[in-house]
Amino acid sequence: MRKWGILIVALMMVSVLAACGQNKNAGTGNAPAKQGNAAEANQGTADTGNAKKLIIGMSADFPPYEFHIKNEKGEDEIVGFDVDIAKEIAKDLGAELEIKDMIFDSLLNELESGRVDLVISGLSPTPERAKQVDLSQIYYKAEQSVVSLTENKDKYATMESLEGTKIGVQKSSIQEGIAKTVPGAKLTSLNKISDIVMQLKSGRVDVAILEGPVAGSFVKNVEGISITDAKPVTDDEGYVIGVKKGNKEMLDQVNATLDRLIKDGSIDKFVAEASALAEKK
């Protein structure tokens, strides 16, 4: 009897395991995406339209694009006009939005690996980035700025005056590329813009090169720093959204949402609202 009992139990276990395998396959593409699994979320969004989650990679230290605040409930919240755009894309896809805050330098690798579905983080359309990921149309353009201590504003009024100086920039940013063209400059490349501003305040760098609205936000909120008259020039003005290479359906969806937001004036509205919020931060 013990041998028959063991055989019956074994047959039951095989049956259960087979049923589990069938259920797993039957649910592919139809079950809600798991928390943090961008690959599943992306597959559902692009292929079936049944995705429940869209995971966006951002470096939320870039006001007014994306930054942290304490909301009315006293909770930490990521806001900014890139966040507003992300919400619109998720709405058009019928997906729940999840934002992953990470260092800027890691964003495209996270997109390539499938751990995020899109990158929306003040991303400039450089040729190098276009080789790594697909890029949307430009949704916003802004100038670059040079920031110094207020007392040194006139000292660094031209790009030529930056030669041989210590320059703070965000790692892997378009501003880092600009700073590398300044003769004799010594670069301090950091992940967070707030850390760059701290380096400037403490005298460890002479100037910082920042994106225009970002520079404006920090100048209004940090005493003792100012935007100089120096005008960095780059061919990569404008910002785009990063999409995993080859995911044409997602890219088309993103561009369709951007078309709508540009034509109806929503992006200009988002920029104004985010800039006002950043000033209160």
Sort strands 118-123 and 53-58 into parallel, antiparallel or unpaired: parallel
Q: Quote the pLDDT of residue 280.
A: 77
Torsions phi, psi for 210 (to 5 deg): -130, 160
Whether 142 contacts 212, CB under 8 Å: yes
Q: Quote the pLDDT of residue 29.
A: 32
Q: Quote the pLDDT of residue 233.
A: 85
Q: Quote the pLDDT of residue 236.
A: 62
Confidence of residue 151 (pLDDT cuts 50, 70, 90): very high
Whether 119 contacts 111, CB under 8 Å: yes
- Most confident segment among 59-63, 199-203, 235-239, 265-269: 199-203
Report the percentage of the chain scoring pLDDT > 70: 81
pLDDT at 12 over 60: no
Task: Calculate mean pLDDT across residues 83-112.
Answer: 97
Q: Quote the pLDDT of residue 123.
A: 92
Structural domains in the chain, CATH included, are: 38-141+238-280 (3.40.190.10), 144-227 (3.40.190.10)
Task: Calculate mean pLDDT across residues 198-223.
Answer: 94
Per-chain mean pLDDT for the chain: 84
pLDDT, tens digit, 9 for 90 and up, residues 169-197: 999 888 999 999 999 999 999 999 999 99
Q: Quote the pLDDT of residue 10.
A: 42
Tell me the pTM.
Answer: 0.69
Confidence of residue 59 (pLDDT cuts 50, 70, 90): very high
